[in-house]
């Protein structure tokens, strides 16, 4: 859950670079964020599988489901801002190239 807050603050940054070099650095950081999101997506899917396995064993999954749902919801809420940030960085790169 802490990693979500860290990602959120990075995604919400309004720094789009002041020159081509800084934009390229920010685009590399953006790619790292996207890669990190992909890894976390797999972790969330694994958590869901584990919760289903517990449920099939007849064990209570209320707490696990609650945490999983919270993380999954927050994760999904970050996808659009992540995409918007990439779009803005690419636009900034285009501006600084000329």
* pLDDT, tens digit, 9 for 90 and up, residues 2-43: 888 888 888 888 999 999 999 999 999 999 999 999 998 998
Structurally, how many domains does the chain consist of?
Answer: 1
Domain assignment present for residue 27? The answer is yes
Q: Residue 69 sits in which domain range?
A: 13-96
Domain assignment present for residue 2? The answer is no
Q: Count Cβ atoms within 10 A of the Cβ of residue 98 and give its class: 0-12 exposed, 13-18 middle, 19 or more buried.
A: exposed
The predicted structure's pLDDT at residue 84 = 96
Domain assignment present for residue 23? The answer is yes
Reported pTM: 0.80
* pLDDT, tens digit, 9 for 90 and up, residues 45-97: 988 888 888 878 877 777 778 888 888 899 999 999 999 999 999 999 999 98
Domain assignment present for residue 61? The answer is yes
Domain assignment present for residue 79? The answer is yes
Q: Which of 9, 12, 23, 15 is nearest to 95 (CA)?
A: 23
Domain assignment present for residue 74? The answer is yes
Domain assignment present for residue 90? The answer is yes
Domain assignment present for residue 35? The answer is yes
What is the CATH classification number for the domain harbouring 57?
1.20.58.60
């Amino acid at each position: 859950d802490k990693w979500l807050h860290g990602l959120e603050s990075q995604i919400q940054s309004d720094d789009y670079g002041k020159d081509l070099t800084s934009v390229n650095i920010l685009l590399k950081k953006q790619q790292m964020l996207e890669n990190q999101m992909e890894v976390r997506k797999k972790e969330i899917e694994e958590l869901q599988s584990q919760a289903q396995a517990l449920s099939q064993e007849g064990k209570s999954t209320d707490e696990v489901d609650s945490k999983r749902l919270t993380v999954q919801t927050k994760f999904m809420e970050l996808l659009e801002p992540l995409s918007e940030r990439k779009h803005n960085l690419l636009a900034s790169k285009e501006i600084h190239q000329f």
